[in-house]
Amino acid sequence: MIGKKMQEAINEQIKHELESAYLYLSMAAYFHSEGLDGMAQWMRAQTQEELVHAMKFFDHIRDRDGRVELLPLAQPKREWTSPLQAFQEAYQHEQFISSKIDGLVKLAAAEGDHPASILLQWFVTEQVEEEASTSKVAQMLERIGDSGHGLVMLDRELGTRSFTASTTEGGTE
């Protein structure tokens, strides 16, 4: 059975993962409104990944005879000044999530909670991917600058991203 402290911390993390999904869905809506459907598609796939992350934590509590408690979600921001700003914020958000995963890793070690430690190893690796993928797009957008042609090309490329359940097993785009 999962301990009380770990259960509370994982319930908090479920909220963070759902807020990530909410944020990226809001970014998808922003990109659609700007006619950047490829970037919107990238964010829609990212939203689905975040839901999978939340459910991994949900199932961990359930499998260990704990009790999931869903906490209120913050309303996400809805406008950005540019695609670059949106992806920079996505990168910053992933760094924030990585810090939360680090905190959980430390708590699991302090509590001697080996099942949680094993689950969290997957998330440590996943966060490396999450930071890399958002930072890579932000860097490309920086390089593109004001080039409309560059933006159209990148939008097309990002639109090829699709979500499959297996994407979450070995990593992410």
Residues making contact with ligand OFO (CB under 6 A): 17, 20, 50, 53, 94, 97, 130
Residue nearest to ligand OFO (CB): 20
Residues 137 and 60: their CA atoms lie apart, in Å, by: 32
Residue 53 Cβ vs ligand OFO, minimum distance, rounded to whole Å: 4
Residue 148 Cβ vs ligand OFO, minimum distance, rounded to whole Å: 30
Residue 56 Cβ vs ligand OFO, minimum distance, rounded to whole Å: 9
CB nearer ligand OFO, residue 49 or residue 113:
49
Residue 47 Cβ vs ligand OFO, minimum distance, rounded to whole Å: 10
Query: Which residue in this structure is represented by tokens 């809001």?
Result: 26
Residue 149 Cβ vs ligand OFO, minimum distance, rounded to whole Å: 30
What are the φ and ψ backbone dihedral angles of 160, each rounded to 5 degrees? -80, -10
CB nearer ligand OFO, residue 36 or residue 97:
97
Q: Is the dihedral of CA 27, 44, 116, 127 positive or negative?
A: negative
Residue-by-residue DSSP string for 144-170: HTT-HHHHHHHHHHHTT----TTHHHH
CB nearer ligand OFO, residue 54 or residue 154:
54
CB nearer ligand OFO, residue 113 or residue 130:
130
Please check whether residue 89 is in contact with residue 80, taking contact to mean a CB–CB distance below 8 angstroms: yes
Helices marked H in the chain: 4-33, 37-63, 83-111, 114-144, 148-158, 167-170
CB nearer ligand OFO, residue 16 or residue 107:
16
Report the alpha-carbon angle 128-7-120, nearest 5. 20
